[in-house]
Amino acid sequence: MQGKSDETGRDQMISVRLLAGFLLFLMLFATGVHAQTQSADSKPADGKPCNEPKAEFKNAPEIYQTLYITNLSQQNDLTDILTDLRNMIPKARFASISAQNAISMHGTPDDIQLAQKIVADLDQPRKIYRLTYTITESDNGKHIGSQHFVLIAASGMKTFLRQGSKVPVFVGENSSMNAELKVQFVGAEVKYEDIGLTIEATPDGNPQSLSLRTKVEQSSLAEEKSGLGEKDPMISQSVLEGISTLQIGKQLVLGSLDIPGSTRKQEIEVVAELVR
Find residue 205's DSSP bridge partners.
210
Looking at mean pLDDT, say which of 6-10, 184-188, 206-210 comes out highest: 206-210
pLDDT at 57: 47
Find residue 63's DSSP bridge partners.
107
d(CA 276, CA 125): 9
pTM: 0.60
d(CA 9, CA 30): 32
d(CA 92, CA 65): 11
pLDDT at 178: 56
**List of domains in the chain:** 59-122 (3.30.1370.120), 128-274 (no CATH)
Q: Are 194 and 256 in contact (CB under 8 A)?
A: no
Q: Are 189 and 174 in contact (CB under 8 A)?
A: yes
Is the pLDDT confidence value at 181 over 60? no
**Beta strand spans in 179-263 (E):** 183-206, 209-225, 233-246, 252-258
Q: What is the CA radius of gyration of the chain?
A: 42
pLDDT at 167: 78
Per-residue model confidence as pLDDT tens digits over 45-92: 444 444 444 444 456 688 999 999 988 877 788 999 999 999 999 999
pLDDT band with cut points at 50, 70 and 90 for residue 165 = confident
Per-residue model confidence as pLDDT tens digits over 223-274: 666 555 556 677 778 889 999 999 999 999 999 888 766 788 889 999 999 9
User: Could you give the percent of the chain with pLDDT greater than 90?
Assistant: 41
